[in-house]
Amino acid sequence: MINWNTKPIAPPSARRLAYDVLYDVFVKEAYANLTLQKVMKKYSGKKYEPLSKPEKGLLTELVYGVCRRYNHLTWIMGRLSTRPVRKMDSKVRILLAIGLYQLVFLDRIPESAAVNETVEIAKKVTHLGNVKFINAILRSYLRKKIQLHFPQRKGHELQYLSLTLNEPEWLIRRMSAQIGKARTEAVLEEFNKAPALDIHANPIKLPASKLFEKLKFHHAEPELIPFIPDGNGIRVGNGDAFFRSPLLKNGEAYVQSAASMIPAVVMNPSRGDKVLDMCAAPGSKSINIAQLTGNWASIDAWDLYEHKVNLIDHNARTLGIRCIHAEQHDSTVIDESRKGQYDKVLLDAPCSGLGVLGHKPEIRWRRTEDNLKEFPPLQQKLLDAASVYVKPGGVLVYSTCTLNREENEDMIAWFLEKHKDFRRDTFDFAGRHLVEGMITIWPDEFHTDGFFVARLVRRNNDD
Ligand SMILES: C[S@@+](CC[C@H](N)C(=O)[O-])C[C@H]1O[C@@H](n2cnc3c(N)ncnc32)[C@H](O)[C@@H]1O
């Protein structure tokens, strides 16, 4: 029986929720953004009083802040403790990171609140010995903070950069070797800024110009993203206002990073095209393609996982898109019946994700240099398969959200060497003419995720 008199329960504090989210991120390898969304949703329902705006703000700041500054924070722990950081209980490391983050980076929070509240959470989640240790380290930080200095850059450059940019040393070394020191620093600095909220219009339901007016009406502070043609890419200054508006629920817009909109722009599909999207879930790029053709293409959208295929269907339905046929398919396995059938093929390949360290800051602590080796063999298999589906004269677009040369430029060189029936196809983008048929979207230049997009064409028999 429903008890109509049940009062909503007060939610836990932002700091406690931040601890729960960060525990899942660091111990169970959950994604910070998805876990945070889940928690926000839980505490906006009927059972709990809603989280206040400042509490939501503090929760988000603590989760992303700790993920972005983890190296800096663990370095402080190491300077203040005789116990090596790697030997600390993960609960202790996370609680210390939350406390120290407030003390080091948030000047609006009183020191006493940062220390006491952290200790209070510790009492609930760990034993007394750990509680005392956490209390001692945080208080020791307050006493010794002016004596804590990073090593000088000169003579300790890699360690210095790893601490100031908060990235693992191997990544800085590797990126510097591939793209030079200056660009590496600029890109990695960009990853430590809170990323902008970008949305894509859904002209199938509402023209972009009308959406823009509605966004202004809802005080979402819209700005056109200059490098996305047709005004479909919009940067939103006030995310809270956007999420409060009915636009997302009504399918008049959806959330997509600007960089991720580019592969469909580079593909430049035409009405009536038969398109294959080989790694399609959750479907953003298939959706972009459908929108660019006004729902007048035939798009086969494949993904390896059944639950992800359902997500493509769900997203397309919300947006009123009818021309996407989502199917569960292992795209490394060739479907003989579809050889040479498609005008345009998109391979948005699984990759190391080094371009999305701004949106997913925790990835930097998970990847290892060894990990990166997994991706090129899979990408090669997928590209081999992609090549068979393209009609003579048809287009193959290859994209990744990484900034790793082996998965990008080197992959295209490998493919062209092996598949002589393909060539690079020049295209224009953001005011430049790309004669090599590919572009890297640098986060420091475009202020979005890092991406790589290449456009290839299958030669006609008489080419
Ligand atoms: C980069 S994501 C694709 C994002 C998608 N294109 C979008 O814009 O929404 C890569 C996708 O490849 C899928 N995938 C991985 N291996 C696959 C395979 N062998 N066959 C088909 N899909 C695969 C993953 O499940 C994942 O959804």
Mean pLDDT of 359-377: 94
Cα(50) to ligand 1 centroid in Å equals: 35
Give the number of other Cβ atoms within 10 Å of residue 48's Cβ. 14
Q: Between these two residues, 113 and 42, which has the higher pLDDT value?
A: 113
Token readout for 398 is 């290859």
- 401 carries an active-site annotation: yes
Residue 230: pLDDT band (50, 70, 90) is confident
284 is in an annotated binding site: yes
- Least Cα distance to 102 among 14, 193, 12 occurs for 14
Q: How many residues does the chain have?
A: 463
Q: Helix, strand or coil for residue 324? A: strand
Mean pLDDT of 355-360: 95
The pLDDT, as a whole number, for residue 50 is: 84
CATH number of the domain where residue 213 is located:
3.30.70.1170
Is 280:300 a contact under the CB 8 Å cutoff? Answer: no
Token readout for 135 is 């209390």
Tell me, yes or no, whether 152 lies in a domain: no
Q: Is 330 touching ligand 1 by the criterion CB < 6 Å?
A: yes
Token readout for 378 is 């899979």
425 is in an annotated binding site: no
The pLDDT, as a whole number, for residue 8 is: 80
Residue 5: pLDDT band (50, 70, 90) is low
The pLDDT, as a whole number, for residue 192 is: 93
**Distance in angstroms (rounded) separating the CA atoms of residues 255 and 248:** 8
Tell me, yes or no, whether 379 lies in a domain: yes
The pLDDT, as a whole number, for residue 222 is: 97
Q: Is 285 touching ligand 1 by the criterion CB < 6 Å?
A: yes
- 419-438: string of b/e by CB count within 10 Å (b at 16+)? beebebbebebeeeebeebb
Query: What is the tens place of the pLDDT at every residue in 8-45?
Result: 888 899 999 999 999 999 999 999 999 999 998 888 77
The pLDDT, as a whole number, for residue 3 is: 56
Residues 250 and 368 in one domain: no
The pLDDT, as a whole number, for residue 419 is: 98
Mean pLDDT of 122-127: 97
Instruction: Show the beta-strand stretches assigned E in 102-261.
Output: 197-201, 222-224, 233-236, 253-255
Task: Please name every residue paired with 299 in a beta bridge, in sequence order, or none if there are none.
Answer: 275, 324
Give the Å distances, CA to CA, from 37 to 19, 43, 71: 15, 10, 25
Mean pLDDT of 273-294: 97
Number of H helices, E strands in the chain: 18, 14
Asked if the peptide bond before residue 443 counts as cis, ω within 30 degrees of 0, the response is no
CATH number of the domain where residue 416 is located:
3.40.50.150
Task: Please name every residue paired with 9 in a beta bridge, in sequence order, or none if there are none.
Answer: 48
Cα(348) to ligand 1 centroid in Å equals: 7
283 is in an annotated binding site: yes
323 is in an annotated binding site: no
Residues 438 and 375 in one domain: yes
**Distance in angstroms (rounded) separating the CA atoms of residues 162 and 62:** 20
**Distance in angstroms (rounded) separating the CA atoms of residues 194 and 19:** 20
Residue 74: how many CA atoms within 13 Å on its side-chain side? 21
Tell me, yes or no, whether 2 lies in a domain: no
Residues 175 and 220 in one domain: no
Residues 351 and 390 in one domain: yes
Cα(412) to ligand 1 centroid in Å equals: 19
Q: Helix, strand or coil for residue 183? A: helix
Q: Between these two residues, 83 and 235, which has the higher pLDDT value?
A: 235
The pLDDT, as a whole number, for residue 317 is: 95
Question: How many structural domains is the chain composed of?
Answer: 4
The pLDDT, as a whole number, for residue 4 is: 57
Cα(314) to ligand 1 centroid in Å equals: 16
Residues 349 and 440 in one domain: yes
Give the residue, by CA position, lying nearest to ligand 1 atom 17.
Answer: 304
Tell me, yes or no, whether 28 lies in a domain: yes
Pocket test of ligand 1: the residue of 200, 279, 360 to mutate, having most ligand atoms within 8 Å of its CB, is: 279
Nearest atom (ligand 1) to Cα of 282: 9
Cα(104) to ligand 1 centroid in Å equals: 39
Residues 123 and 80 in one domain: yes
Choice among 67, 323, 351, 401 that is catalytic: 401
The pLDDT, as a whole number, for residue 443 is: 97
Q: Is 342 touching ligand 1 by the criterion CB < 6 Å?
A: no
Q: Is 424 touching ligand 1 by the criterion CB < 6 Å?
A: no
- Percentage of the chain exceeding pLDDT 70: 98
**Distance in angstroms (rounded) separating the CA atoms of residues 73 and 417:** 46
- Percentage of the chain exceeding pLDDT 90: 92
Give the residue, by CA position, lying nearest to ligand 1 atom 11.
Answer: 279
Q: Is 17 touching ligand 1 by the criterion CB < 6 Å?
A: no
Give the Å distances, CA to CA, from 351 to 83, 261, 322, 383, 405: 37, 17, 29, 13, 12
Residues 264 and 410 in one domain: yes
Cα(380) to ligand 1 centroid in Å equals: 14
**Distance in angstroms (rounded) separating the CA atoms of residues 394 and 340:** 9
Residue 2 scores a pLDDT above 60: no
**Distance in angstroms (rounded) separating the CA atoms of residues 269 and 272:** 9
387 is in an annotated binding site: no
Tell me, yes or no, whether 3 lies in a domain: no
Residues 288 and 236 in one domain: no
Is 295:316 a contact under the CB 8 Å cutoff? Answer: no
Domain extent for 73: 14-147
Q: Is 331 touching ligand 1 by the criterion CB < 6 Å?
A: yes
The pLDDT, as a whole number, for residue 43 is: 85
Residue 327: pLDDT band (50, 70, 90) is very high
CATH number of the domain where residue 25 is located:
1.10.940.10
**Distance in angstroms (rounded) separating the CA atoms of residues 350 and 433:** 27
**Distance in angstroms (rounded) separating the CA atoms of residues 296 and 293:** 5
In degrees, rounded to 5, the angle at the alpha carbon of residue 330 between the alpha carbons of residues 264 and 362 is 65
Q: Is 348 touching ligand 1 by the criterion CB < 6 Å?
A: yes
- Least Cα distance to 359 among 193, 175, 183, 234 occurs for 193
